[in-house]
A and B are shown apart, each in its own frame.
Chain A
Amino acid sequence: MVESSRTASRGRGVVGESQHLLFSVAPGAIWIVVFLVLPSLYLMAVAFMTNGPYGLPQMPLTLDSFEQLAGFGFLGWSPGNFYTLLRSLWQTLLATVLVVMVAYPIAYYITTCRMKWRAIMLLLVVVPSWTNQVIRTFGWMNLLAPGTPLSDLAQWLGVIPPNMGLYPSNFAVTLGLVYNFLPFMVLPLYAAFEKLDTAQVQAAQDLYASPMRTFWHAVFPQTLPGLLAGTVLVAIPAFGMYVIPELLGGGKGMMLGNLVANQFAGGSNWPLGAAGAILMLIATFIGLFAMRRIGKRLGGGEEVVI
């Protein structure tokens, strides 16, 4: 009798734990499902619908939007969207490489400084990214506009024709991207440098002697996880960037993000925008997946964020 009542109460204990999980996690989980998962699924469905008046989606289901995305329209095939995609990939690649080239020495330099300065230096790197993206980009517009010292210099060098500014241009977009994402690369690289096993470096100095070889054999491999994490943090949002190309790029600097956004902001063609979003998602997840694979192969997979 007693035994059975006690086992029953223990059964209740397990149910209690599950209930607890439900109560604590459910509000947030439901929130994300209702306000993000469902909308995303809806967006995917929109990609397969017909474009109605004012850009709103309608039945029947069709693959028109994907054909449009691929460049097929009333006038036959046009390469505009294809170029936009290529430009997005190129800008992402270029910006990521440039960000690495700036962030790597900076992150290293911070670790060589005295402990009490490091927090301040990191803060100095991060603070600009606390200001709004639009304002930061606006700052670059001010700097690169026609008639500013930078534009005058470029004209004098003959890089741009007279009476033009450095923006709008692809160059301005690249610059904006590098500016925007620099902190995202410095932070993980700094973490990697800080953890650097100096014993390995000293051993390498003994073994290889030349600084270059020491760097490639002892330092660089140890910072790879940080580099990888930074690349994820930079490349993925850069690929989907909207604000910077919109303000600094002009018509010829458009990226995939603008193509997608314009279908919604202008209210012209939701299904086309949704199809573009799907393309962007696919690229994002391929990128994430590839980074994870590389990270795992390097053995530092655990340390890569995401």
Chain B
Amino acid sequence: MKKRSLQRGLNVFWWLTLVFLYLPLAVVVFFSFNAANSAARFTGFSLRWYERLLGNEQIISAFWNSMVLAIVSAVLALVIGCLIGYGMYRHRHRKLGWLIVLIYLPIVLPDIVFGISEMAFFVSMHRYTGLLQPGLMTMIISHVTFQIPFVALIVYSRLVGLDPTLFEAAKDLYATPFKRAWHFLLPTIKPALISAFFLSFTLSIDDFVISFFTSGPESATLPIYIWGAIKKGVTPEINAIAALMIGAVAIAALMSLLFNRQGQR
């Protein structure tokens, strides 16, 4: 009796929490269709803000910057992180404390400290050597830096979960070192590589602080553009672009759900 009322209470609490979690996003999507230039009163349905988006070159270029940044950094981090993950696994019986510290450093460092360190470094570097002018390049470098640990840890934990005799079986069955990597190791860790890539991609799209401090004048990404627009004064255009990004996340969530379902089957 008591237990059931507790359960009912929890159920109500669960729905309230969901409202709490989705209300801010729903408001953004809702007002993106507002005819009036207001975030308080809904005057009528309209797609004019979406039309305005298509004509806004800054937004288009910010979109491409975001994409290039996310894809290039995720690919680079995948290669480098995968190598580290494999190295950690292969030499897990050695003392690799220094490597663990190095790998956790980007994770534990507060975003803001991460961002300003990079900024100070790149700006000074550019001033003294002319290299690494803040822009897409420096953003890619910074993003790869915070993505590497996640890739390495995902690959490592996948390898640790494998039966170690599989490696020996591959050797035993006449596979040369190169063939072992190509026909055994890579196919075996493929699921880990895929999820590491998508995690890196998401981390990159999600990031604002580090991008903000390492970007140059020409390399604003969507979050940086939105940030600037908010600071200058909110326009419903931001609602529209933000709604599109929320839609992308929703699609990604649905896909991951379907992917999981298939994995279970």
Contact = CB atoms under 8 A, between A and B. Distances in A.
A299 B141 CA distance: 39
Contacts of B31: 142
Nearest to A110: B14
Interface stretch (B47-55, B56-64, B168-176, B252-260): B252-260
Interface of B: 2, 7, 10-11, 13-14, 17-18, 20-25, 27-28, 31, 39-41, 80-81, 83-84, 86-88, 90-91, 94, 99, 102-124, 141-142, 144-145, 148, 152, 202, 205-206, 208-209, 212-213, 222-223, 226-227, 230, 234, 238-239, 242, 245-246, 249-250, 252-253, 256-257, 260
A130 B87 contact: no
B81 A28 contact: yes
Nearest to A132: B223
B24 A134 contact: no
Given A24-B87, A112-B7, A145-B39, A136 B227 contact: no
Interface stretch (A79-87, A190-198, A272-280): A272-280
Contacts of A17: 91
A104 B252 CA distance: 27
A260 B2 contact: no
16 contacts: A24-B84, A25-B83, A28-B80, A29-B84, A35-B118, A38-B121, A56-B123, A105-B13, A127-B253, A134-B223, A147-B41, A240-B112, A257-B110, A277-B116, A280-B112, A306-B108
Contact of B87 (A25, A46, A147, A273): A25
Contacts of A241: 112
B229 to A, nearest CB: 9
Interface in A86-121: 102, 105-106, 108-109, 112, 119-121
Contacts of B245: 131-132, 135
The interface residues of chain B, by DSSP majority, are classed as helix
Given A42-B120, A102-B17, A130-B202, 16 more contacts: A20-B91, A35-B141, A109-B14, A123-B253, A127-B253, A131-B206, A132-B208, A132-B222, A132-B226, A133-B206, A139-B25, A179-B20, A242-B112, A261-B116, A288-B108, A306-B107
B116 A20 contact: no
Interface residues of A, number: 78
Interface of A: 17, 20-21, 23-25, 27-29, 31-33, 35-40, 42-43, 46, 56, 102, 105-106, 108-109, 112, 119-121, 123-125, 127-128, 130-136, 138-143, 145-148, 179, 182, 211, 236-237, 239-243, 247, 257, 260-261, 264-265, 270, 273-274, 277, 280-281, 284, 288, 306
B206 A236 contact: no
Closest 10 CB pairs of A and B: A139-B24, A240-B110, A24-B87, A39-B121, A25-B87, A28-B84, A39-B117, A147-B40, A109-B10, A135-B242
